[in-house]
Amino acid sequence: MSKFLKMASVTQKITLALLGIFLMLFLLLHAGINLCMLRSDGGEWYRAAAHFMGTNYIVKVFEVILFATFILHILIALVLQIQNWRARPTRYKVTNKSKTHTGSKFMIYTGILVFIFLCLHMMNFYFVKLGWAEGKYMVEAADIRYADPASMQQHQDKLLAMFSNPDSLAVNPLKPVADNITKADLETVFGTGFTYYEPDFYNIAKELFNNPVYLVIYLLLILALGIHLVHAFPSAFHTLGMNGPRVDKPVKCIGALYAVVVVLMFWSVAVGMNLLY
């Protein structure tokens, strides 16, 4: 029985490591897409990337896999942590001088902070996509043919204002995409049955990052993510057998570098959007 439990624990650790590596790769992709927001094009690149991610069927399948990965990673991490606590139910009277890395002792706590960040991120972005939360929206000019003609005729001034190009020297006085639209204006101008719109994540992010309270919380939670990654990276590869005197130090250095790069990528977008707008 003890051998079976030990084997099950090893299997869980290997699964956790593989899921963690997959999530670490996704973090780089996500941070890279976010960096598009800093391009001085009014969010054109970022919106194009968000549109592709939200409409491509392959990406939609990947999205399901991603959420399953998140859930499994969290559940397995909790199970392993509970098993560790049960294995040592009482505190030592003498301070334990184990060689366990300091970061590993706090992985569960930084993991909780990362989970809080994930929930916050979901509420502000993904829940808007699902229609569970209200945000900002955008409509392509080509899709207004699906709107209620009576509503558009009645609110013609608002409709023109939505598509007006702020650049007076532009060849085309109208924008191909109306952005930063509230749900109320969306229903008023295009009709309650109109569904040809998408979340305007660019303006949602701009508004959030210009909220000082949200900005500080975001930066701190991203820092917690970085601390989590500093230990998670070498831990994952160690679990998969990449350990030893020759590889331990390089893997730890690469992991620390990876964590710093990820944190700086997310921080640069948050601070950049705050300073630029």
Give pLDDT tens digits for 94-139.
Answer: 444 444 455 567 888 999 999 999 999 999 999 999 989 999 999 9
* 95 in any annotated domain: no
- pLDDT of res. 1: 44
Do both 110 and 182 map to the same domain?
no
* 248 in any annotated domain: yes
pTM of this prediction? 0.87
Do both 184 and 212 map to the same domain?
no
Among candidates 140, 132, 149, which has minimal Cα distance to 191? 149
Which whole number is the average pLDDT over 24-40?
95
Tokens coding 67: 């959420």
209-264 pLDDT, tens digit per residue, is 999 999 999 999 999 999 999 999 999 999 988 888 888 899 999 999 999 999 99
Q: How sure is the predictor about 10, in pLDDT bands with cuts at 50, 70 and 90? A: confident
Residue with tokens 């929930």: 119
Q: Give me the numbers of helices (H) and strands (E) for the chain, helices first please.
A: 12, 3
Do both 40 and 123 map to the same domain?
yes
Which whole number is the average pLDDT over 19-45?
94
Q: Which of 199, 227, 251 is the last residue of a domain?
A: 199
Which domain does 189 fall in, by range?
137-199
Q: What angle do CA 69, 70, 74 make, to 5 degrees?
A: 115
* 96 in any annotated domain: no
Do both 228 and 114 map to the same domain?
yes
Using CA atoms, how far apart are residues 46 and 121, in angstroms rounded to an integer?
A: 17
DSSP state of 96: P
Q: Which of 158, 179, 199 is the last residue of a domain?
A: 199
Rg (CA), the chain: 24
Question: What interhelical angle do 201-209 and 44-55 show, nearest 10?
Answer: 120
Would you tell me how many other CB atoms lie within 10 Å of the CB of residue 34?
20
Do both 191 and 231 map to the same domain?
no
128-184 pLDDT, tens digit per residue, is 999 899 999 999 999 999 999 999 999 999 999 999 987 655 566 788 899 999 999
Contacts of 238 (CB under 8 A, 6+ apart): 248, 251
Using CA atoms, how far apart are residues 49 and 267, in angstroms rounded to an integer?
A: 20
* 97 in any annotated domain: no
Q: Which of 199, 216, 232 is the last residue of a domain?
A: 199
Name the average pLDDT for the chain: 88
Do both 48 and 84 map to the same domain?
yes
Do both 232 and 254 map to the same domain?
yes
The domain tally of the chain equals 2
Using CA atoms, how far apart are residues 256 and 233, in angstroms rounded to an integer?
A: 8
